[in-house]
Structure 1
């Protein structure tokens, strides 16, 4: 029986034209690791287990960036720029109606399950690198976000976004 690491390695080293795929959840979990850890069986299996646990406990959300509003670039301050979905299914339903080619990225929510909103902190609010796991930290409460900023980025800002159920 193969583990998450075996699936990752087989997919990563597949031949050109090989249409083999891996679950989006496995990909997202492994990509959250630094490049050097992606070849470490223990670290890969550990992060996949951790992400699975967070998902089962409702501590993940899916993010999508709605890049342009009538051709004008958007920023963190624009309430509609970041769409937050409670699950991959909710994101898929939204995409079918609004952006058939859209892609959402799964993020873990710090300090518990989101209740209506998440608070987002980004070290580089102008960045559009949403697929990068370090692009943002998400929190279930404003208190936790403020504490994280105080400890890690005192000049940083926090933005609140509603979670679509």
Structure 2
């Protein structure tokens, strides 16, 4: 996250904040900004609320798969093979965390936010593409084109929401 901060701090004309586990003060500071960027890891998905229209873009860098631990290892032994275990235990837990992350930005039917999932495992040809889609609310528009994001935001946010939307640079 520190590397992303270093890349963005000079590229964007917006305040950029980094939240770490237990950094509620940074989250509160972000809520007071008119425009800003909050960099936060998965630990920030729990217990944080962004009511109203505070978030315009939620970037999920990696699908939130659980970290292996002794309890999960013991559960894995109950399944005939690794694939069965992953489908029955790991994927549903990832989906629950993904819904939780999505829910940080979209709380009510009046909220709007673009969500970018950057993990290649969620790409069209990725192993967990359908699992990631199944975790998201029904009926939301899905795109693979970065060019669709700005028109989406402009269509769903009031004209005074942004004082300036930075130009999106597609490097790949």
- TM class, shorter-length: under 0.3
| TM-score, normalised via structure 1 length | 0.23
Bigger share in strand: 1
| TM-score, normalised via structure 2 length | 0.22
Bigger share in helix: 2
Structure having the higher Rg: 2
